[in-house]
Amino acid sequence: MITGKIDDTNEIALQIVRWASIAGKLFATVAFFASYQYTNDVFPTITRGKAMALASTCARLGSIIIPFVIQTTFDTLWITQALFGILGLSAGLTMLVMPKTSSHSFTTTIQEAEEYYHKEMTWIAKFVG
């Protein structure tokens, strides 16, 4: 957005803006579909259905709120991109502290999940939580 506002006649600046927005849409789509897979891996069997419903609800709430956020662009041009950027970065940073579940079998009870995540969470997650 800043590149387009500084010089909207420069073709290179417009191409940068265009490709950055396409990359942003790509990463948002990947994150949306990855949330279902990761939710399935993280939660124990006993709560997996409820966790999937919660993840789906949060994703749908985001798609309901989007038109209202985009409407704020008419008042303040930078607020939409700043909000999406902050939310995207915070989601990415949050994922960095989650444990890797590829070499571990599914947990079946909440107690197993608590023991596994207490043992496998990175030092950042232990510090925050």
30-to-11, 24, 36 alpha-carbon distances in Å? 29, 10, 10
- Over 70: is that where the pLDDT of 31 sits? yes
Task: Report the domain count for the chain.
Answer: 1
- List the one residue out of 33, 45, 17, 42 whose CA is nearest residue 109: 45
Strands (DSSP E) contained in 3-90 are none
Of 2-6, 10-14, 52-56, 78-82, least confident by mean pLDDT is: 2-6
pTM for this entry: 0.58
- Over 80: is that where the pLDDT of 39 sits? no
Rounded to whole angstroms, how far apart are CA atoms 19 and 27?
12
3-state secondary structure 77-112: CCHHHHHHHHHHHHHHHHHHCCCCCCCCCCCCCHHH
Average pLDDT over residues 59-70: 84
- Over 80: is that where the pLDDT of 34 sits? no
pLDDT greater at residue 54 or residue 117: 54
SS3 129: coil
What is the domain extent for residue 61? 2-128
